[in-house]
Amino acid sequence: MGFKCIMDIEKFHKHRACGDLSVLSLVERSLERIRTLDGEHGAWVHVADKDALLQLAADSDARWTSGTPLSALDGLPFSVKDSQHVVGMPTTFGSLAATPVLPTQSSPIVERLQKAGAIALGKTSLPEFSWKGTTESPRSGITRNPRYPHYSPGGSSGGAAVSIAQGACLLATGTDAAGSVRIPAAFTGTVGFKPSDSIALSTGAVEGFKRIGHWGVHTRTLADLARVWNTLYDSAAAPEQLRWASIDTSTRMGSRAKSFYDACVARMVKRFGPPAAVFRPDWVSARQAIHSLYLRGCFETFSRIDSLRIDLVDPGLADFANRGALVNAHKLAQAIDAQVMLRSMLDQIFEVADVLVLPTVAFDPPLIGKESPEEAGVDDWIDWAHCTYLTNLTGHPSLSLPWELEGVPFGLQVVGLRGRDAQLLAASEQINRLMGTE
């Protein structure tokens, strides 16, 4: 089973309408891909009962046959990151130290997808409690990149992105507190979307993550993402003449990432004209704010673990937690002030531009088993994720479009106005056609 036969939502609907494909056969195909491919990839940590899945698929087929599907997503298999809840499946957080949770209610995005008829196949891998931007954990080991085997698939929603890249499902849910949906999308050649904070802020998170943690969605194509969003929420028309903004050239980037971004900007200029604005973020304030909020979140998570099982925790997470213990109320207040300032700065850009474009990640991906790209020259993974954590701080919707340069995966990140997620997707379709990514 090669990657050439990977299904997407558009193809599924076309084949289903022609009678060439049923939901039942699609789910069987998904389970077969997991069985034959995931021993190498390590993306799945729990797969639902086969008989139960096939019954859900048969029920969906019956609805389609009778002309009463629950939505355009009815019967579509999806995966769920193992920090999110699905009734009937354990949540283990990638941890050997924490007691698995048997939830009585699914996470909001999972529940919404299930009400639309989508079928949750199982749970996907993550670093312990989603603490870093690559995907290895004490519980499930290393998750590998099926599209670019030399490189990490990124994280923390690495298993979610891999479940899409390997063709096991048509959409996936993840979480994103500093880029954890968009980073693995960029590294695996898939699409990842973090919605606005007004829609997707993770209010169930520990306090440190409540201001930056969002849920997100992975798909194989932007057209699939638009179909999912239009079904669950709303749609919008693209602007007649796209107004766009670029990132300031002083933004720290690796050599190949800069070549990639320069090429994207040149295409944008040729098609849409010069940028309406150039965004110059206060990167120093952004770094200080994300460190305070993220490290504090790790500390609060760590503090909930039974002291008798602390030795089982990933040492990297323990280090982040120890540093987070030093983040006091004053530092948290400073971080919140910085969020307000950065949000205002970015809002001003959207007074004259429809979208901001910048790299998803400003460096080559880390090699498999490494936590940071070599040329980034940093020890903390969070210090190479500045292009993504920016919008976790500001709350703006942002997505990563897949691209490749010299055999290395990159993502072009597109950011939109807060609360205008559908407009961001519509504008991104124009950019996507220009870049030739679909």
Give me the active site residues, please.
Answer: 81, 156, 180
The two beta strands, 77-81 and 171-176, are parallel
All residues at 6 or more sequence positions from 366 whose CB lies less than 8 Å from its CB, including other chains: 134, 151, 152, 372, 373, 374
DSSP state of 365: P
Show the CA angle centred on residue 351, arms to residues 210 and 398, nearest 5°. 40
In whole angstroms, give the CA distance from residue 144 to residue 158. 9
CB 47 within 8 A of CB 90: no
Tokens of 254: 């690796």
In whole angstroms, give the CA distance from residue 37 to residue 31. 10
Q: Which long-range contacts (CB under 8 A, 24 or more apart) does 268-277 make?
A: 268/244, 268/357, 268/431, 268/434, 271/434, 272/241, 272/242, 272/243, 272/244, 275/244, 275/245, 275/246, 275/353, 276/243, 276/244, 276/245, 276/352, 276/353, 277/245, 277/246, 277/349, 277/352, 277/353
- Cross-strand bridge partners of residue 402: 411
Show the CA angle centred on residue 112, arms to residues 427 and 213, nearest 5°. 65
- Cross-strand bridge partners of residue 244: 355
Tokens of 203: 């209010």
Q: How far is CA 43 from the centre of its chain?
A: 14
- Cross-strand bridge partners of residue 201: 214
Closest CA to 216 of 203, 230, 202: 202
All residues at 6 or more sequence positions from 159 whose CB lies less than 8 Å from its CB, including other chains: 42, 43, 44, 45, 79, 81, 82, 124, 125, 126, 135, 140, 143
Cβ density class 287-308: b for 16+ within 10 Å, e for less: eebbbbbbbbbbbbbbeebeee
In whole angstroms, give the CA distance from residue 63 to residue 60. 5
DSSP state of 5: G
In whole angstroms, give the CA distance from residue 25 to residue 112. 24
